[in-house]
Chains A and B, each alone.
Chain A
Amino acid sequence: MTTGYQLKRADFIFKNQNDWEEILSKNIIRNPQDLINDLISSELKGRGGAGFPTGLKWKLSAEAVNDTKYVICNADEGEPGTFKDREILSKVPFKVLTAMAVCGHVIGAKEGYIYLRGEYFFLRPELNKAISEFDYYCREINFDFTIRIFMGSGAYICGEETALFESMEGKRGEPRNKPPFPSSSGYMGKPTVINNVETLAHTYTIFKYGAKRFYDLGVQYSRGSKLFSVSGDTPKPGIYELELGMSLSDFVDEFGDGDTKAVQVGGASGFLVPRKRFGETVIGFQGKLTGISLPTGGSMMLFNSSRSMFNVLDNYLEFFREESCGQCTPCRVGCQQLLNGIKAVKRGEKNAMYLDKLLRLTETMQYTAKCGLGQSIANSFSSIVENFREEMIY
């Protein structure tokens, strides 16, 4: 049992947002550089899953020279097993709006957009109400920042930031080539900060309690707390705010049903961790903590021994086959080959060695796919096939 990586509950995100007016008016008169420094010293990293340092992101956009810049809140929460952003937007929308406005102040943007997942259409009326209240206050304090909602249409790929820009520009949601990165050329080719809903909510915590308070949570390289969407074979599914840097065995002790066979960390594009590796797996960002450390968008799916890992993988691959934008070869064709491949092995049309060929293919997909989606399919495929090979074959 690893020590020092215990599960610790935290309670910041959903705690009272009633002081948003104060937070906003206090911070939009602060020096942008100080705000950036706060974020940098808090070591907040993006909570969408990729873990890019938020302070650096804001800094790069602030340094970009352009009269027009944008702040975008990525609320295209589409990763299977993730449902935290929905909760944030319905419970504490003002935290997100405030954070967007402060970001606008920092980088010099006058407009912000919330890219709302198509399936979250039902959130729109309440969110619009919050936005108009927010707008009213901004005008009252003479702060020029307008927030609008842009409705997505239900494509998973539009959660990828550059595909999201394309979608907002009225084009087909296909990821762009990078570079250029959003900080220099994002929405409409303008410098853009695009942050996940939860990331923005955390910046609110930092503005409110200071960077130190946030930094003191979590462990080295993985500071702060994080929302986890817990689902699957668990007696208590739901959303939990936990400090980063807990061991997976602690997590399973808390949330498992006593028969947990594996946990899918980070949704369909994340990794599957089998029981034997629970102890050595720490949930956090890069940096060798102990054994494996896994970044995560916050999705934790627990599977008990009644689940067929073949079915789990089959389900993920079907999802990816359909949700790939289809533009790049490794992702479009690769997904089809992986799905058809495991089925062929299961049916005995291809021998077990074919799985190794597919594993090598996932490496190629990881190296060559144009965007994060295609690159990350390898994660779930290889972690499931390597750990549950016999379930793929028999």
Chain B
Amino acid sequence: MEKTLKITINGVTVEIEQGTSILEAARQTGVIIPTLCYHKDLCVAGNCRVCVIEIAGQKRLAAACATPCEEGMEILTNSFKVRNSRKHIIELLLSEHNADCTRCYKNGNCELQKLASEYKIVTQDFIRLVESKNYTIDMFSPSIVKDDSKCIRCQRCVRTCAELQGVNALTVAYKGDQMKISTFFEKSMMDVVCTNCGQCINHCPTGALVEKNYIEEVWDAIADKNKHVIVQTAPAVRVGLGEELGFEPGIRVTGKMVAALKRLGFDAVMDTDFTADLTIMEEGTELLTRLKGVLVNHDPEVKLPMATSCSPGWIKYIEHMYPDYLDHLSTCKSPQQMFGALAKTYYAKARNLNPETIVSVSIMPCTAKKFEANRPEMHDSGYRDVDYVLTTRELAIMIKQAGIDFMKLDDMHYDRLMGESTGAGVIFGATGGVMEAALRTAYELVTGREVPFENLNIIPVRGMEGVKEASVKIENPLKEWAFLDGVELKCAVAHGLVNAKKIMDSIRSGEANYHFIEFMACPGGCLGGGGQPIPTSPEIRRKRTEAIYAEDAGMPLRKSHQNPEIVKIYKDFLIKPLGEKSHHLLHTHYSARKRF
């Protein structure tokens, strides 16, 4: 048991654990102290100073987030001095901020705006500083728009990029009044190591970092009678979207989302989960082929461990940081891009549509998917495979714009052909999900038996630990997989690029001897993606995770190879995993990028 301390907050004596910050202590006792630079995901910076409080006997105010409680402390969170100072600080931030709120993408979801409203900052006493600084907006990236005029220098993005992702694309540059958040040589976000993961957007309190939105483009396409607009929805969207539309975190809204998309006017609403299942078929087969290449043929060209390739943030990360390990990447495209390539081939053929008229839209929990859709590698259908990528947040905006009362919608089902999925496809949205889905199918493929975990739940790969490990021993395989008899398949799962780095470094040093590794760029996997509703926190991500696994548990089919539409596509179109058609449409290669 930790030692407890007695302190008083606003005259009320409370007991708290030693080591608790004043901010946490206040929250535990129902006292709200405003914050800006503080974020539960990040280390304490203590630089915005909005959370200052008064400690009896001290002349100076202390930052509640950065000051630990001490025995007998008398804390005032709303004294004359505190209120005046806090108001000053908000006024100072506003004087440096492009407070053109009605024209801001984050209007209504901005922490600074909320504080200004709470403290009723209605006058403009201080001199406006922002106009004299000649800021330019960086909008070259297909994923992220960076507007320094709205930046309050809280450095949450910098800490996110460094601590959660280990990428350090965003850093602090210059000092004093010139201090700003910038990139290497102030290049565009498009031209630096940025992985487009969007975690900086999720953690930005203002509109300084937002996704590049394609809402109007999609509305235009829907309005165009000559276009057949289809949409796919990623697994994690269904457990996040509700948060933007009035639900608590952790509520699944799959059926309502499908209904809303149909009301928005999409011609077909299908599921990325379908291509997640397809990914398992392709990637699982690829893994087994690689195992054979190494264990039987001893082919030095075949690389193990094999790394998953679903997360476009992770792809760009390895291109920049570990380009010499690119041939460890599965050649599978991500489910989004598999869907895109099939939409303008398989779907077009089945529905007798001219692929030229198809506009393929995807709803993703992710901003890196916008970059991915824009890659030159992603035109295998003969067209741009995915035309527009919208984040969960953008979809919520469209639903609101369309005047849909989301809560009152009746559930609807996805359209046929590429709308059926299994529990295995759904769990792609959580860290460890791809691994679990792959094991469910690969083990059965090899042994003819179900994977030896209760109810198919491979618990070791689930959960929020940064790096997870699991191993499955293969016994009594089918005849054609006899070479795997007795092999212990070693797997690892990493989420958050800072954890990906740990695994990659252990591979490079020769410490690690995995066969198969799942990498997800974002903390918690896609459900914690950079395109998901803001705010995010460990607690919110945990609730979304529970929702994902509940969705899986409730599915009648939970193994990718059982998906009838998967069976059908191999029968009618692809013929077999890693076949010629698959090779052409579903697989690709990536290339090295510079590291700055």
Contacts and interface: CB of A to CB of B under 8 A. Distances in A.
B60 A375 contact: yes
Interface in A328-349: 328-330, 332-337, 340-341, 344
Contacts of B49: 328-330, 368-370
Contact of B176 (A179, A332, A341, A367): A332
Contact of A326 (B48, B50, B61, B174): B174
Given A367-B52, A370-B63, A329 B47 contact: yes
Nearest to B89: A329
B557 interface: no
B155 interface: yes
B89 A330 contact: yes
Interface in A353-372: 357, 360-361, 363-364, 366-370
B178 A364 contact: no
Given A324-B177, A326-B179, A368-B85, A333 B96 contact: yes
A323 interface: yes
A11 B155 CA distance: 49
A325 B175 contact: yes
Given A328-B48, A337-B92, A361-B88, A155 B175 contact: yes
Given A326-B177, A340-B127, A172 B59 contact: no
Interface in B25-71: 44-50, 52, 59-61, 63, 66-68
A368 B89 contact: yes
Given A327-B47, A329-B49, A341-B127, A334 B92 contact: yes
B155 A333 contact: no
Contact of B47 (A157, A350, A360, A370): A370
Given A177-B46, A335-B176, A329 B93 contact: yes
A261 interface: no
A155 B179 CA distance: 13
A163 to B, nearest CB: 11
Nearest to B54: A367
B560 to A, nearest CB: 47
B68 A367 contact: no
Contacts of A172: 172
A334 B9 CA distance: 29
A367 B177 contact: no
Nearest to B90: A329
Contact of A367 (B47, B60, B127, B152): B60
Contacts of A177: 44, 46, 63, 66-67
Nearest to A339: B177
A326 B92 contact: no
Contact of A323 (B66, B89, B175): B175
A117 interface: no
A215 B66 CA distance: 38
A63 interface: no
A323 to B, nearest CB: 6
B253 to A, nearest CB: 39
A323 B152 CA distance: 18
B217 to A, nearest CB: 38
Contacts of B88: 330, 360-361, 364, 368
A333 to B, nearest CB: 4
A122 B44 CA distance: 39
A367 B175 contact: no
A321 interface: yes
Contacts of B47: 327-329, 370
B216 interface: no
Nearest to B88: A364
Nearest to A369: B49
Nearest to B94: A333
Interface string A308-327: 00000000000011111111
A306 to B, nearest CB: 30
A172 B153 CA distance: 15
Interface in B487-511: none
Given A367-B61, A367-B81, A367-B85, A336 B48 contact: no
B48 A322 contact: no
B481 interface: no
Given A367-B52, A367-B85, A327 B179 contact: yes
Given A177-B66, A368-B49, A325 B127 contact: no
B177 A179 contact: no
B211 to A, nearest CB: 27
Interface string B436-455: 00000000000000000000
A321 B67 CA distance: 27
Nearest to B171: A172
Interface string A147-173: 000000001010000000000000010
B107 interface: no
Interface string B72-92: 000000000100110011001
A36 B140 CA distance: 61
B464 interface: no
Nearest to B85: A364
Of the candidates A177, A321, A332, A368, the one having the most CB atoms from chain B within 10 angstroms of its own CB is A368
Interface in A226-241: none
A137 to B, nearest CB: 40
Contacts of B68: 179
Contact of A327 (B61, B127, B153): B153
Of the candidates B46, B50, B67, the one having the most CB atoms from chain A within 10 angstroms of its own CB is B46
A70 to B, nearest CB: 23
Nearest to A374: B49
A370 B89 contact: no
Contacts of A357: 125
Contacts of A344: 127
A332 B176 CA distance: 6
B221 to A, nearest CB: 44
Nearest to B48: A329
B175 A322 contact: yes
Contacts of B96: 332-333, 336
Given A327-B153, A329-B89, A332-B153, A157 B175 contact: yes
B178 A326 contact: yes
B126 interface: yes
B95 interface: yes
Interface string B259-276: 000000000000000000
B491 to A, nearest CB: 35
B115 to A, nearest CB: 12
A78 B156 CA distance: 30
24 contacts: A155-B175, A177-B46, A322-B175, A322-B176, A324-B175, A324-B179, A326-B153, A326-B176, A326-B178, A327-B153, A327-B179, A330-B49, A332-B153, A332-B179, A336-B96, A337-B126, A340-B129, A357-B125, A364-B85, A367-B59, A367-B60, A368-B61, A369-B49, A370-B63
Q: Nearest 5 A-B pairs (CB), nearest first?
A: A326-B179, A177-B66, A333-B92, A364-B88, A327-B47
Given A329-B48, A367-B52, A367-B60, 16 more contacts: A320-B176, A321-B176, A322-B178, A324-B175, A326-B153, A327-B155, A328-B46, A329-B47, A329-B152, A333-B129, A336-B129, A337-B126, A340-B129, A361-B88, A363-B85, A364-B88
